Structure 1
C-alpha cells in the first residue's frame, strides 16, 4: 500500500507545479459555489508610469538625505525620459496575457529567495484556547483541530465554502485551493524552489519527537474517513510509538531539520536522499503530498513569549548528555504545520508562497468556529447549531477499520498510521546532524517580545474618530524612532484580493505626515493638542495610502514588475538607473515590517524581520485590546515593546484630557513599569 501510494505521489499527476513562473495562465473557471465570482473579478490594474514614479518619490522623500533625494529624482526623470515608457508598454502587453501581471514575478520573489524559510518566510499564528477545558489536552485538541481542518478541505473541494467579501465586493478565492496540500520543493544550486499542490491529497503527516508518520483522513473527493475519536486514538498511538524511540536515535533521525537549511543546501541533500534509497524518495513524495503536518510537541509553553517562539521556530532544550529535547526539529517547514503542545496550546506555522495570511486566517477562523459549534452541540444534542463548515457529522460510536473502501471511488485508504523511516548512510547522517546544528545556531539570535495590551482597543480608538490600524502603525513607528533614534523605512501588508489572483501590495507607512507626527511626539516644546492634531493628520494620510494600495495603485509591485520584465526582455542592456538609485535601495531595505491579522480565533501572530537590522511585528486589534508580537535579532524588542505600551498609555491620556471621553474602560489597575526609553510630556 505504501509503495503504491508513494509511487503515485512521486509521479505527482495531480500536482500543480509553480516553478516556471512566466508561462501564460488560463483564466480561472467560474462555478456555482465558492469560485463563482472568479470570472467576474477585475484584473489588477497596471498603474500609469508617471503616477507610480511620483508616488515613489513621495514615498522615499521622508527617508532620504537631500543629496540622495536629488540623485533619486534625477534617476526617475531619466527613466521617464528614456527606458521607462518602452518597458511600461511591454508590461501592459504582458499584462494582457496574464490573469495578474504581478503574480508570476511575486512567486519568483519567494521561490528564488534561498535563505532558510524558518523565521525569514514562514509566519505563525497562536490560536485561542479551545472553549472546552477538557479539550485543552494535546491529543483531544489535535483531533478536534484536525477534524475541522478536514471539513475545511471538503468545503473547498465541494465548493460549499462561502465567498470572502469586503463589504459587498467578492474577493479572489484562488488561494484556498493551495492553502492545504501544497509543498515547497527545494531546487539545486541557484535554480530556485518550486511549489507543488496536490489537489486530491488524502493523507496527513504527523511528527512527534522528530519522527514522521502518515495515514489517510479523507477520500479524494474530501469525504472524511474518521471521527474525533478515531483521530484521537491514532494520535495517541503515534505519540506512544515515538516515545519508545531512544532520544539519541530520535535526534539522529530527525530529518525535518533539513527543511530549515539554506535552500540550495537542502536541495542538494534532498537529491542525495532520493538517490540513496527508493524508500527515501517515496517518503519525501508522501510528505510533499500531505494535506498538512500535525506536530505533536513535547512541551507546555506557559508564557506568550515562549508560545510564540515555539510557533515561529520551535524550542531548543539540550539535556546534560547533549541530546536535543526541544521541539526545534519537530517541524517540516516546507508545509503548513499544525502544532499542538502537551498542554493543548496550538499554533500554525506555514510556508508563505502559496497563500497569504488572510487566506490561512480564514481557514483558522472557520476551524475555530467549527470547534466552538461542535462544543455547543455537545451541550445540547437537540439544539440545531449550524456549522460554518457543512460536512458529515459522525456518530461517536462508529468505528473505523484499518482500510476503508471509498464510497465514490475504488481507491483503498488506510486510517492506520505508518512510520516513515529514512535510510541514511554516514554522509547523509552527517548532513542531518550539520543541519540540526546550523538550525539551532541560526534561530537562536532572534528574540521575541509580546505585548497583550488590555486597557483599550478598537472601540476606544474609533470613538476618537481615528483609524485603529493607522493608530497602531503610528505607535510602532514612534517606538522604533525612540529606541533607535532614526525614522526607518516601514512596510505594511495591504491586501489586493479584490482583483483576480490578488495578493498584497506594500503599504509604506512613513508618509510626510507620519514623519512630522513622530518627530513632534517626543518634543517637549509641542503641546498635547498639537500632537493630537498631527496624529489625526498622520492617520488620515496612512488610511489614504492603504486605500490606494488596496486599489492597485501602490508603488512597490509595479516597480518590481518593471524591473523583472526588464531583466527578462533586455538581459544584455544596462539596468535603468532608477533601480540602482538611493531611493530604490532604501525602499528595498525594510526595517519595520508589519502586518495586521486580527480575528477572534487568534491570540497572537508574528513573523521574523525581513532585514538583517529590522524587526517584524504581527499585530491584532481587538475591541478591548491590542496584541503585538515583535521579532528581531538586532533591535531590542523588549525595549520597543515597552515603548509601544508607553505610547498607548500616553496617547490615551492626551485624548482623554483634550477630546471626547469615548468608550474607554480600563481593564485593570496595572502598575506602570519604569525605565522605558523615550520622553513623554
Structure 2
C-alpha cells in the first residue's frame, strides 16, 4: 500500500463545474460574460495549458511531489504581511493532562516532546485514514523543528539536519525566552520530573522580574516585508546570530501563561497577541498555569489542521513512565537580543503598530442546538447541515449570498494538502431561500444534501476545481501564455471568500480555533460538532466585517428553522 499520486482532473469537467459554481454568485450579465470567457478558454488555449499541467504533473509525481505542492508552498512563502494576521492559526487543544499548574504544563511538554522526537528519530508510525488509505507524511516534518525564515521576496523553510539527541525547546514566559533541554543523549525525552523542574526554574526566576518592553518574539509578528531587513540587521551581531540559530534548532516552543482568562479571550490572544509565539516557528504550544487552557500556535505554510489533529491525538496517547529526575541537566538559559538603540526604537514603533492592527481582530462564539441523531427522520450530514445554516444566515442578513470556501483534507494523495469544496450550490441556495420564505420542500432539501455530497466525493477523488484552476493558471503564467481567463469576473468572484470555513469534526483533540478572515468584509468560520449542537466561532475584523451581530443572530435563527423543517417533513 502506498500514497496515491495526485491526478490532474479533466479540463471539461472542471470548466463545467466552475460555471455551475459561479452561477449562484453572479447576476445574469456577469454570468454571461463568464460563460463567454470560459468558452474562449476551452476552445483556444485550454487544451495546451492542460497538456502542460499534465506534463508537469508527471515530472512532479516522479520526484515525490504533486503538480500543486511546490506552487502551493510558494504561495504561502510569498506572503509579506504579518503571519498571525494573515495565515497562522491558533488552535485550542485538549487532553487529560492533570489539574492546572506546573505539573500539567510539564505533561504537555513531555507528551509533545515524545511525539516530536519520535518524528526526528524517523519512527513516526504511518498514518492511515478511516478508509484504509495511507496518508502522506510530508506535513509531519513540521515536528522536526526549524522555522520559516523571512527573506526579502520569498521566505525559506529551514530545517536543521540534527539528530534527536540533546535537543532544546524554547519556553516563553512573560515575554522572555528560555532555552530548555528536552532530550537526552539517546534522543529520548527527559523525564517528566526533569521537565517540571525546568519549568519551575523558569517561572520562579521570572517572579521578581518585570516584563520586557519588547516581548522576545516581536520581530516575528511584523511580516516578512518588515521582518526580513530587520532580522538581517539584527543578526549582523554575532551574539544575535547565535540566538537565532538556537531558535532554528529548537524542535518547538511553548508559551507558559500565569493568568486565567475566558476561553475566547485566550483564543484571541493565542492567535493574534504579540509575544505568544515565535510566529515563524512551525509550532508553539501554550499552557496556562491558572486554568485549563491548552493551545498551539501554528505557522500554516507547511502544515494543515488535519495533521495537527493527528499529532495531538498521539500526544494524548503517550504513556508517561515512572522515572526519577535526571541529574546533571543544564538549567534553562535565558536568551536575549543585543539591540542597538536605533533597532530597539524601530521595533518599539512596529510593536505599537502591530498591536493596533491586532486589536481589530476578534472571535465571536455562537452555539446552536441540534437534535439528537435518534430524533432525526433520516441521516443528515453534520457538515452539510452546518453549511446550510451558514448559508441561510448569509441570505437572511445580507439578502444575497457570496462565495464560501470549505477546506477538504487531501493527504491521501502524494504531498497532498487541501482541496476547496464550494458549498454555495444552486440547490443549496434554492433550499435556504425557500426555507426563509416558509416554502421549502423535502425534495429541495434532499437536492441540497446531494449537491454537497457530490462536492465531497469530487474533492476526495481529486476532482475539485479550485486547485486545478490554480494549477492551470501557474502553468499559463510560467509558459508566457494568455492568462486573461483567470481574471474573468466569475472566477474572481468565486475566489473572494466571504466565508472561509473549516471544520475538523468534534472537540476530542482540537476544540476550536482562530484565524484572520481572508477578506476584510468577511468572516473566518470554524465549526465544531458537539453532543447536542454545533459551535461556530466567527473570526472577524472590528473595522470592516459586515454586520457581525446580524449574522451571528441569524445562525441561531437558521438552525431553528432547519430543524423545525426536518421534523415537519420527517
* Fold in common (TM above 0.5): yes
Shift of 1:394: 3.7
Structure 1 residues 456 and 251: CA distance shift in structure 2, 3 A: farther
Deviations 1:407-448 (A, max 9, x none): xxxxxxx4x211111010112101221221122111111221
Task: Work out whether residues 179 and 355 of structure 1, in 8 Å CA contact, stay in contact via their aligned partners in 2.
Answer: no
Deviation at 1:256, TM superposition (A): 0.9
Q: Distance in 1 between matches of 2:160 and 2:310?
A: 20
Residue 153 (structure 1) aligned with residue 60 (structure 2): no
SS of alignment partner, residue 437 of structure 2 = coil
- Output aligned runs, 1:413-452, within 5 Å: 414=330, 416-452=331-367
Q: Where do residues 267-286 of structure 1 align in structure 2 (5 Å cutoff)?
A: 267-275=228-236, 277-286=237-246
TM-fit CA distance, 1:90: 1.3
The alpha-carbon deviation at position 246 of structure 1 amounts to 2.5
CA shift for structure 1 position 453: 4.0
Q: Displacement of 1:162 after TM fit?
A: 4.8
Equivalent-residue separation in structure 1 for 2:488 and 2:177 (angstroms): 49
Q: How does 1:438-517 map to 2 (within 5 A)?
A: 438-453=353-368, 456=371, 459=373, 464-517=378-431
Q: Which runs of 5+ in 1 are unaligned?
A: 1-36, 315-327, 371-386, 388-392, 404-413, 660-681
C-alpha contact 1:127 1:346 (8 A) present in aligned 2 = yes
Deviations 1:493-536 (A, max 9, x none): 01111211111111111111011112212114x1xxx3444233
Deviation at 1:148, TM superposition (A): 0.8
Residue correspondence of structure 1 range 311-350 to structure 2 within 5 A? 311-314=270-273, 328-335=274-281, 336-342=283-289, 343-350=291-298
The structural deviation recorded for 1:452 is 3.7
Aligned residue number for residue 498 of structure 2: 591
SS in 2 for 1:255: coil
Q: Distance in 2 between matches of 1:195 and 1:147?
A: 26
Query: Would the aligned equivalents of 1:493 and 1:504 in 2 still touch at CA under 8 Å?
Result: yes
Q: Does 1:127 align with 2:93?
A: yes
Aligned residue number for residue 217 of structure 2: 256
Deviation at 1:231, TM superposition (A): 1.0
Q: Which runs of 5+ in 2 are unaligned?
A: none
State the distance in 1 between where 2:57 and 2:564 align. 51
Runs of 4+ aligned structure 1 residues displaced above 6 Å come to none
Counterpart of 1:399 (choices 303, 306, 325) is 325
Residue 306 (structure 1) aligns with: 265
Deviation at 1:402, TM superposition (A): 3.3
Tell me which residue corresponds to 1:208: 173
Call closer, same or farther: CA 1:117–1:453 in 2, change over 3 Å. same
Distance 1:77 1:288 in 2: 50
Task: Report how far residue 64 of structure 1 moved.
Answer: 1.0
Q: Indicate if the aligned counterparts of 2:222 and 2:354 stay in contact, CA closer than 8 A.
A: yes
The answer for the alignment partner of 2:209 in structure 1 is 245
SS at match of 1:515: helix
| Partner of residue 458 from structure 2, selected from 533, 544, 548 | 548
How far has the Cα of 1:282 moved from its partner?
1.0
Per-residue CA deviation, residues 450-509 of structure 1 (Å, 9 max, x unaligned), is 12445546x358763211111111111111222222201000001111211111111111
Counterpart mapping for 1:45-124 below 5 A: 45-98=7-60, 99-124=65-90
> Is the alpha carbon distance of 1:221 and 1:75 closer, same or farther for their aligned partners in structure 2, counting shifts above 3 Å?
farther
SS in 1 for 2:326: coil
Distance 2:130 2:493 in 1: 32
Instruction: Give the Å deviation of 1:622.
Output: 3.1
Q: How many residue pairs align between the two structures?
A: 556
What whole-Å deviation, never above 9, does each CA across 1:158-198 have from its counterpart, x for those lacking one?
A: 4252522232222222211224414111111xx12111223
The 3 A distance-change label for structure 1 pair 644 and 88 is same
Matched residue, 1:630: 538
Change (3 A) 1:642 1:531: farther
Q: Which residue of 2 aligns with 1:164?
A: 128
User: 1:23 — aligned with what?
Assistant: none
Q: In angstroms, what is the RMSD of aligned CA positions?
A: 2.1
Superposed displacement of residue 262, structure 1:
2.5
Q: Deviations over 1:626-651 (max 9, x none)?
A: 22211111134343233212222232
SS in 1 for 2:353: helix
Alpha-carbon distance between aligned partners in 1 of 2:184 and 2:492, rounded to the nearest angstrom: 50
The answer (yes or no) to whether the contact 1:618–1:629 under 8 Å persists in 2 is yes
In 1: Cα distance, 2:415 partner to 2:219 partner: 31
Shift of 1:567: 1.8
> Aligned to 2:172, what secondary structure does the other structure show?
strand
**CA spacing shift, 1:461–1:611, aligned 2, 3 Å:** farther
Q: Alignment partner of 2:159: what SS?
A: strand
CA distance in 2 between counterparts of 1:623 and 1:531 reads 27
CA distance in 1 between partners of 2:185 and 2:311 (Å): 20
| Deviation at residue 591 of structure 1 after TM alignment | 0.8
